[in-house]
Structure formats: structure tokens, C-alpha cells
Amino acid sequence: MNPIGPIPQDVLAQRRARFRAQLGEGVALVPGAKLVRRSNDVDYGFRQRSDLLYLTGFNQPNAVALLSRDRFVLFVQPREPAAETWTGRRPGVEGALRDYGADEAYPIAELTERLPLYLENVPRLYHRFGDDRDIDEIVQLALERVRSRVRAGITAPEEIVAPQSMLHEMRLLKEDGELEILREAADISREAHHAAARACREGAWEYEVEAALLHVFRARGGSGPAYPPIVGAGNNATILHYTENCSRLAAGQLVLIDAGVELHGYASDVTRTYPVGGRFEGRAREVYAAVLRAQQDALAAIDVGTSLRSIHEVAARSLVKGLLELGVLGGAPEDLFEEQAYQPFYMHTTGHFLGLDVHDVGNYSVGGKPRPLEPGMVFTVEPGLYFSVDNEQIPEELRGIGVRIEDDVVLTHNGVEILTSAIPREIDDVEAWMRA
């Protein structure tokens, strides 16, 4: 089977057309990412800014897109054979025109000189200050140059508006091609989690489990992890963003694995919790069952018009019930929910949007109220319970147990599609999967 490719250029052109239609007489500036120094003369691996990637597919550093109602301009690094020998091939100006659909293309060094020309007699500039100091300075200089020509009858933009208010609304509703990539990313993450689950043996190291994940991510064509993988055994699972992954797995522990692949810029975000040795036992089994029930309740609550907030409340109420059964809390369930008595053990929300960013863009409230969910929105459902060894207020046998179960879902006109449903969640299924 042929691997799924990136979003094709004709679809990107349609995106740009929809975006450009919203600009009116304005001009939008969308800068890309730069290389970032890791140490001495070594850079971090390059990852394009998601907004530029969404509109253009251009995946090279030091690029800027300029868009208006009637033109699409790319400023890029020019071809330079000597540099390309060291750092790889560049599309250059020619490639920007030929392969990326630009109406005009220029070397990035010409942005300072050319930008004022595009801003003459334009009422509105769409640009978000604060993302890139160098680009901000170029914009400021361009505005000053245009304003200096007022006596010649030239006007400068009177409004400066961040384009993300429009662009991120577009990104929030996923197209069919995006969903295909997200489904493939979910399947790659399924295979990676299977390899990691089988590596959860007594005496193994967390980094060995991480290596099993990373191998599958790259072997299946992903660019790598969508975020630093979390492989937390025992008490490490109670640290929400634990990434050291340097401890040894011991018998009786649970291992929380939060890891998803990035494919063509799109993120998968999956968490499963596995028992070292392949069997859930004792209080760990009870905690896992409580979290699983909370996730099932939350998934059942998803529908068009509901909100991530209401889904979170369903999960939190379920977890309150679980905490009562575990002997962690005491009292009336509704009072405990209203008091947020669960927060010391469940301190994050139940879901977030997912897409080109693992915590994807999109407003979570509209008009001061939780945003109603619509078909085409992709998000996570991820309840958890975390009992630190340092918490002396809970039963001793619970300390050092952390459980999270996270799936990626898309809301469709026909209901809910769980993209990561092939990764087992039920206790018997997880145990069988670890043996397979």
C-alpha cells in the first residue's frame, strides 16, 4: 500500500483562495520558521510554522508568504549551490513559482525593500506582532517608509490585525485530506504503541520503551514524534509532562505512555497505561477501571452542539465517583464536583483540539460561552488520575500510581469517529495485546 502523501497543491490553492477572499482590500503577512541553534554549530531539526505550512506546504526555513485578494507572493531562500552542498536542496525562487503556486517569488533578502510597495494605499495589514522580532522590524520600517510618502498621495494601512482570527478558524474545521492524514497518523501510533507495550517488561528502561516508539514512527514514514514522548513508570506517571524517560521498570508498576507521531505536519496524540509484566492487579487495576469508565462516559457525551467544557464535566463527575470508590474522597458526589475536590488527582482538562499542532488552534469559547462542537473538529478525550508518592493524605497502596487514557476523535455528521480506536483500552484487551 502506498503511503499517504502531504496535502496536494490544488487543495492548498483552494485554502489560499478562501483565506484571500476574507482579506478584502487588506494584505496579510504570514512568516515561517527559522533554524534554531541547538549548540555550537548544530541546529535543532527544522519544523515549519503551522500557519505557513497550512497555506503553502512550503517546508523550508526563512520564508514569508504575502497574500492579498489578487496575489500570492513567496519570499524564500534563493538557490545557492555551495550552501546546498552542506545543508540540502532548496526550492529557491524558481521552485516557489513552479511547485508552490506563487504568483510572484523573490529572495527573502528583498522583503525589506519590496514590502513597502505592497502596503501602499492598503487600508489594513494582517500581521501578528511578537512572533518574530526580525519580521516585526521589517514591518515597522515598511510602514514608516509608506507613511513618509503621504505628501505624494500615498496612504499606509490604518489598521493592523492579526490574521489568525480568520486563519485559525479555517484550521479548526478539518478537510477530508487532513482527516486521511490524521487516520494514518493514528494507525502509525497504534503500531508504535503495540511495540512499546510489548517492551514494558520488568528490568527494561523507560528509554528502551521510547526507542520502540520512535523506531515505528520513522519506519512508517512519520517525521518523528509530534511532541516529546512521555514514558513514565510508577511514580513518574504522576508527573504530567515527564520526559526524562530514564528510570527502570519494576514489577507491579504501571507505565503511562503518552506518544503520537507527526505525519506531514499533523499530530497524533495518544496515551495508554500498561502494566509491567502484562497484568493489571490490585489497586492499580481499580484506578485504571475508574479512568476507563470516565473516558467511556466522556466519549458517550460527545455530540454536535456539546462543548469540550461539558465533556470535561462529564469526565470529572465520573472521576469523583471513582475517587469515592477508591476511598480517596468522602462526601456527596455533587458537592465534591462543585468544590472541584478531584483537582489534586485530576488537574488537567479532558480534551483539546488537534491538528497541525498537538494543542491545535481554535477558540474554546465564543461570546463568553463554551464553544459548541461542529462536524470536522478533531480533539482528544483524556481523563486521568494521578496519586503521587508524596501525597500522605491518600491510602498508601495508591501512591505512585498514575493512569491516563487518551484518544483522538473527529466529530462527523454521522456521529463520533475514534481515530485511535484500534489501540486497546479495555483491561482484558490491553493484557492480550501486550502478549500478542
Among 124, 140, 170, the domain-final residue is 170
Q: What is the CA radius of gyration of the chain?
A: 25
Q: How far apart are CA 158 and CA 5, in angstroms?
A: 42
Does residue 3 sit within a domain?
A: no
Q: Which residues of 289-308 are buried (b: 16+ CB within 10 A; e: fewer)?
A: bbbbbbbbbbbebbeeeebb
On whether both 76 and 161 belong to a single domain, the answer is: yes
**Which active-site residues does the annotation give?**
41, 241, 258, 269, 348, 352, 359, 382, 386, 404, 406
Q: How far apart are CA 107 and CA 10, in angstroms?
A: 24
Does residue 123 sit within a domain?
A: yes
236, three cell numbers: 513518574
On whether both 63 and 131 belong to a single domain, the answer is: yes
pLDDT for 71-89, tens place per residue? 999 999 999 999 999 999 9
Q: Which residues pair with 385 in a beta bridge?
A: 403
Does residue 186 sit within a domain?
A: yes
How confident is the model over 136-153, as a mean pLDDT? 97
On whether both 250 and 306 belong to a single domain, the answer is: yes
Per-residue CA distances from 51 to 19, 57, 171, 274 (Å)? 12, 10, 9, 36
Among 147, 170, 193, the domain-final residue is 170
242 has pLDDT over 70: yes
pLDDT band at residue 3 under the 50/70/90 scheme: confident
Does residue 305 sit within a domain?
A: yes
How confident is the model over 349-360, as a mean pLDDT? 98
Q: Which amino acid is at 313?
A: E
231: domain CATH number? 3.90.230.10
Domain that holds residue 147: 9-170
Number of domains in the chain: 2
Contact between 261 and 220 (Cβ < 8 Å) = yes
Does residue 4 sit within a domain?
A: no
What predicted TM-score, i.e. pTM, was given to this entire model?
0.97
128: domain CATH number? 3.40.350.10
Among 109, 142, 170, the domain-final residue is 170
Q: Residue 1: its pLDDT value, please?
A: 61
Does residue 330 sit within a domain?
A: yes
Q: Residue 241: its pLDDT value, please?
A: 97
On whether both 274 and 285 belong to a single domain, the answer is: yes
pLDDT for 150-170, tens place per residue? 999 999 999 999 999 999 999
On whether both 152 and 232 belong to a single domain, the answer is: no
On whether both 122 and 195 belong to a single domain, the answer is: no
